Structure 1
Amino acid sequence: MHHFVPRCVLAVSLLAAAVSAAHAQSALDRLKGLGGGRAQTALDVGSDVVKGLTLNDADIATLGAEAAAAYDAENLVAPDSDPYAQRLAKLVAGWENDAGLDLNFKVYRTPEINAFALPDGSVRVFSGLMDKMDDDELRFVIGHEIGHVKHGHSKARFRTAYLAQAARKGVASTNNAAGRLASSELGGVVEEVVKAQHSQSNELESDGYGLGLLQRGGFNAQAAVTALQKLDDGGPKADMLSSHPDPARRAQRIQAQIR
């Protein structure tokens, strides 16, 4: 029986890494080689996760909204009367339905320098980031996060994080995902989404979206460059650097576009 735990861990690792139903099925085929009843629980969990990989956009949006509510409950959300919330509301006025997206914005009162967006359109900005950026720089960063939603990057990251968490918890499959995670577990999904590193192509695509928002709104396009430069000199304080890499190179690319 002492071999059972490692096999379950292997099951979770394989399935968490799967990003498509085909990849997950391949992982399950490999698990069948574990042999006997010892692997049955691992296979049961794996089958549930494969079913979850058929999540459609509506399912992910619903789960994203639930995760946003759960994570909001774990953080200090600035009320409407708070200066940070009032500033953010002015900055994003008119963006609530940007490019057909149904967006909602909130501020977390925390010194961390970060921001993120979930596939349902929930955009969260940390007050530490707001302290570091001027208005147009902040608009660029928020536009960048909206770009991740618009281009489907947030959806892909959320699906992977949600299913990995479901596999770890061994929840039963339902009609939409590998079971419904508890509210306390949904916060962990958001943590994984926030920490997961974007690919270079995703970053450049979202940078372009953020720059486009500045230009369409008649704001200072140069703020896209200075925002990235500020993140680059943030050192360990700039939490966004872990999931949004190469700000200096991206700043150079945007500067060339502006010219």
Structure 2
Amino acid sequence: MLTLRTNRYLTYFFIVVFSFFLTNESFSQKRKDKEPTKAEFDKMVEKEFGKFVYGTKEDKMVQEVGKNIIKWAGYTGLDVTFKTIQSDEINAFAYPNGNCYVFTGLFQTIETIDELAFVVAHELAHVVLQHGAKTEELLRKQGKKVTEDQLKAWTREQEYEADKYGILYSIRAGYNPLGSVNWFNTMVNRGFEYTPMFEKQVDHPNFTQRAVQSFIHIGNYYEYARNFDYGVIYLQTGDYGMAINSFQKFLEMYPLYKEAYNNLGVAMLAEKINKKGVNLDLWVNTAVSKLELFKDNFQSRTRGNYTVTNKDFVDAIDNFNKALKYDPNYPQPLINLAMISVLTKDMTGAKKYLDQAMKLSSGLYDTYQILGFYFAEQSKFKDAADAFQKAYNLDKNNPKALFNLAYSYQWNQQKDLATSTWKTFLNLVPEGKYANIARENLAKLTGTVTKNPNVPETGKLPNAPKKKLIEGESALQASISGIKIGDVSDKVLAKLQAPAFAETEDGTTLWHYYSPTITVTLNADGYVTGMILWERNESGISLGDLGSLNVGDAEDKVLEVCGPAEDKTEEGSYTMYNYPDAGFVVWTSNGEIVAVGIYAIN
């Protein structure tokens, strides 16, 4: 049974997969004196449980998986370390300070890398969710009033929560979420419902219960977590209302996910900016989390032609602050708050947020982008150019800073530098909206018109069928799962059956499917006006005589099948190939297609 003396130790460590309690007086004494450093914790753990091992097969697996989980969960800013303890005990645990440990005995029960990924992600979740600190706060406030049963219930709730977020983190890092279920089943099949070391200390839920809950968490992921990805795509396409809706749905299931609060704030900020008619000349981006997608929220090109106040951005500010609540060392919301401050002419506030972001990550591209915006809005064009130059030096494949650098030179009457910078920009971005702006500015500076070399004279797709375009249809009669633009809703139901869920806004209905993962857009009369395929299926998108494309195909196939896009946009790690005359669009990332869509031509 747990005693109040044992409970006290939970104030400075937290068990991740199993439950055990330290009785070494050195831990207790250290706690009384001061908070031990990470190195001191390592020494105490090594003395209590066994020597650390380095470079072994098991340790290399722990390090690799830990690195991947931290990266894709979005917590590279946290001071988290993983160490492997030579011990036959089947266990793993983590302290609130980010020290995580895995016993070599755990590998006796692990059959796949996915199972290890779940264990590691579960540990990280305890650290991220600050379970140890919350337990300490509970004991500090209530002291001896806390009963054993209350503490057990508290601990079980935290275990389930760590399982849920551990599954989310492991999926986002590319591991199979069934690793959680498989590992729990392995332990049960070996006759264990709890860790062998501490089977009598049942403060954790048993493995059978956790296996069942893991199935539920996995199902919830596929129902809810995709809304995060939908939200990012909606941000990219400028549908901010749908982006807000998507991130809010995601937060219903994962209310402690900092990236979702940041992106929800970005969507709210973007929506309000558009409604208020904010017009900027610079290519200024908000800092969208997780996938490095940076959405251009400003459509016009008159610098400083806007009037907004903090009241316009209350909801966005609230979500950025929630993101900071869950991670005070998270620079993206600070950058976004700085952007709002510049927009509202609060330059003191902007400088404060920028300084904080710079302290956390002085090598972050977005920080210098908004710093340049901050200077440009005060007509300090030389300082703006310096900031944009630093951003460009950090990422020479990202053209936004180069675009803004050219404008800064132009506004500062540095004609030669502006001309050469616009030309360099066009080498990176030869087509699209911003390439056209660059050509307009070059024409003003040099008196010479620069043509886009990638747009065919006809303005049509190479090898496109020679047929008359029918208004409201896709030029190629493209289809997804046998459904074309202009088909009636009954045909969609016949082909795909009822959607997983539906949404209606301003006369437009969206049907969302999970198997296959498709979004269908219907107009008020029930006709299909657009479709997006998010995951690979048997047929992909049929493009008539041109052939077909599918999610997962190599990016090179887009040009091979369709030729150069009439509208190609680079957004962070994503590229969008848009063929407006044909009525279809392709998104790619990391060299492969990640989504394809068709839409009606007006």
- Indicate the residue corresponding to 1:78 in structure 2: 53
| Aligned residues of 1:17 and 1:160 also touching (Cα < 8 A) | no
1:128 CA displacement: 0.9
2:140 is the counterpart of 1:140? no
In structure 2, what is the Cα distance between the partners aligned to 1:144 and 1:219?
13
Q: Deviations over 1:227-252 (max 9, x none)?
A: 22223344276337545332211211
Shift in CA distance, 249/108, structure 1 to aligned 2, threshold 3 Å? same
Report if aligned partners of 1:64, 1:118 keep a CA contact under 8 Å in 2.
no
Question: How much does 1:66 deviate?
Answer: 2.2
* Equivalent pair of 1:143/1:210 in contact (CA under 8 Å): yes
Taking the aligned partners of 1:72 and 1:18, their CA distance within structure 2 comes to: 19
The within-5 A match list for 1:10-25 is 16=8
Instruction: Give the aligned partner of residue 217 of structure 1.
Output: 173
Q: Distance in 2 between matches of 1:87 and 1:131?
A: 14
Alignment of 1:183-222 (within 5 A): 199-222=155-178
Change in 2 beyond 3 A, CA 1:157/1:124: farther
Higher relative contact order (CA 8 A, sep 6+): 1
Q: Deviations over 1:201-240 (max 9, x none)?
A: 1011100111011210121011111122223344276337
Q: Which residue of 2 aligns with 1:150?
A: 128
Deviation at 1:141, TM superposition (A): 1.1
Cα 1:76–1:258, aligned 2, differ >3 Å: closer, same or farther?
A: same
**Counterpart in the other structure of 1:231:** 187
After TM superposition, where is structure 1 displaced by more than 6 Å over at least 4 residues in a row?
158-161
Equivalent AA in structure 1 for residue 178 of structure 2: Q
- Aligned 8 A contact 1:215 1:221 in 2: yes
Aligned residues of 1:108 and 1:124 also touching (Cα < 8 A): yes
In 2 relative to 1, CA 230–154 (structure 1 residues): closer, same or farther, beyond 3 Å? Answer: farther
Structure 2, gaps ≥5 residues long = 12-27, 140-150, 220-602
C-alpha separation in 2, matches of 1:110 and 1:160: 32
* Aligned match for 1:254, one of 199, 214, 218: 214
CA distance, structure 2, for counterparts of residue 128 and residue 146 of structure 1 = 20
User: Structure 1 or 2: larger strand share?
Assistant: 2
Q: Offset of 1:96 from its aligned partner? A: 5.2
Q: Trace 1:22-61 onto structure 2 (pairs within 5 A).
A: 60=35
Q: Is the 8 A contact 1:231 1:240 kept in 2?
A: no
The TM-score with structure 2 as length reference comes to 0.26
Distance 1:127 1:202 in 2: 25
Cα distance in 1 between the residues matched to 2:160 and 2:10 = 24
Q: RMSD over aligned Cα, in angstroms?
A: 3.7
Q: Name the CA shift for 1:160/1:232 in 2 (closer, same or farther; >3 Å).
A: farther
Aligned to 1:88: 62
Range 239-248 or range 201-210, more displaced: 239-248
Would the alpha carbon gap of residues 232 and 18 (structure 1) be closer, same or farther in structure 2, given more than 3 Å must change?
A: closer
Partners in 1 of 2:188 and 2:83 — Cα distance? 24
Residues 107-118 of structure 1: matches in 2 within 5 Å?
A: 107-118=84-95
- 2:205 corresponds to which residue? 245
Equivalent residue, structure 2, for 1:166: none
- The aligned amino acid for 2:62 is L
Q: What is the alpha-carbon distance in structure 1 between the residues aligned to residue 129 and residue 42 of structure 2? A: 19
Q: Percent identity?
A: 25
Figure out how many residues of one structure are paired with residues of the other and give that number. Answer: 177
Specify whether residues 95 and 221 from structure 1 end up closer, same or farther in structure 2 by C-alpha distance, changes over 3 A only: closer
Q: In 2, are the aligned partners of 1:96 and 1:104 still within 8 Å (CA)? A: no
> Could you tell me the TM-score, scaled by structure 1's length?
0.57
Q: Which amino acid aligns with 1:127?
A: T
Structure richer in helix, relative to its length: 1
Secondary structure of 1:258's aligned partner = helix
